[in-house]
Structure 1
Amino acid sequence: MTTTQHNSTSVLDLISPTLRTDLITMVREDYWPEMTDDQGARGVNQLAAFLAVAANTTEKAAPSLRVDLFWHAFVLHTKPYADFCQALGGGFIHHVPDRSNAGHNPAEGRAAMRRTAEMIRAAGFHTDAEFWPINGAADCTQSYAGCSDSPNTGKGK
């Protein structure tokens, strides 16, 4: 596993307060109406940690379902999203849905999420159990359709 260490505070600061509020609002309105402000703030932090790792690893990183909700909202903010990816130093992080049957296998989803959570911790970030429910229910253990990042292979940066 190859990951680059980032100062977690500086990565979290790459998302402005205004954008944080907008991402939380979008996730609440589009996917998770009962989400609290605290859950929203933690979700943005978990997204930032996930993307920081995804930007600088040669391995595939897969978000949890809840982290993926925030990723979907962030991708729609194309300019700030591209700027965030650039600031991480690993090039643009593509959101790659996997609509094959493998993308819907709960055991494979849990294993991919476990590996991703380990990479996040190894990079110096906190993993929030509510957003990385490694032993949780199947519908919470993998992104819908098995979304993942585009592994940083040194190509296309």
Structure 2
Amino acid sequence: MSTTTITTTGADPRALISPAEFEGVTATVIDNNPGMTPADAARIVEEALKFVAAGARSPGGMRPSRTVDEGWHALILHTVVYAQLCQRLGRFVHHVPERPDPTRHDPTALERTQARIEEAGYTVDRTLWLGPSNGSIPVAATCEHTSCGDANCELNCSTSHPN
């Protein structure tokens, strides 16, 4: 079976999965966050797709905001969609959560991650990349991800491995 690798060109991140898959993942975000608007849920899923695409392109050292993590969780729950996405991207991007701990929050980690998303050719929706205490868009996601500045980098960060 041959694998097609997706290259990012600044195109709509929705093109990374089918419209039906996007709708299903967005519905999961809405189901997990009663009262969330479909528009906000779609924005969150778009950012999660950008995050996964950037993580596959340039592995290690990235972390999502709590809001974007909600979309990543929804993608992962759609296991077939997520596995096929990662296969097309050329790497499986693992999710390695940690319990929230405001003492280890590194605001520069979110900035570095956004820069990597832009390097992958996407425009970042900065309103979804705020620190863990920002509740402008409340989400159910409660895990955090440590930045890769410590000795346990490979264990504590989102990592990706070749398929």
Structure 1 length-normalised TM = 0.77
Gaps of 5+ in 1: none
Counterpart check, 1:138 vs 2:112: no
Structure 1 equivalent of residue 150 of structure 2: none
Q: SS where residue 146 of structure 1 aligns?
A: coil
Identity %, equivalent residues: 32
For these two proteins, the number of residue pairs brought into alignment is: 143
The 1:151–1:92 alpha-carbon spacing in structure 2 relative to 1, beyond 3 Å, is closer
Partners in 2 of 1:80 and 1:137 — Cα distance?
A: 27
Q: SS where residue 81 of structure 1 aligns?
A: helix
Shift of 1:45: 1.3
Partners in 2 of 1:129 and 1:78 — Cα distance?
A: 27
Tell me how large the CA RMSD over aligned residues is. Answer: 2.6
Matches within 5 A, 1:1-157: 6-9=8-11, 11-30=13-32, 32-89=33-90, 91-99=91-99, 104-105=101-102, 108-133=105-130, 136=131, 138-139=133-134, 144-147=142-145, 148-152=157-161, 157=163
Partners in 1 of 2:103 and 2:34 — Cα distance?
A: 25
Structure 2 length-normalised TM = 0.74
Q: SS where residue 87 of structure 1 aligns?
A: helix
Cα deviation code 1:43-66 (max 9, x no counterpart)? 221111100111121431101111
Partners in 1 of 2:97 and 2:21 — Cα distance?
A: 24
The 1:88–1:106 alpha-carbon spacing in structure 2 relative to 1, beyond 3 Å, is farther
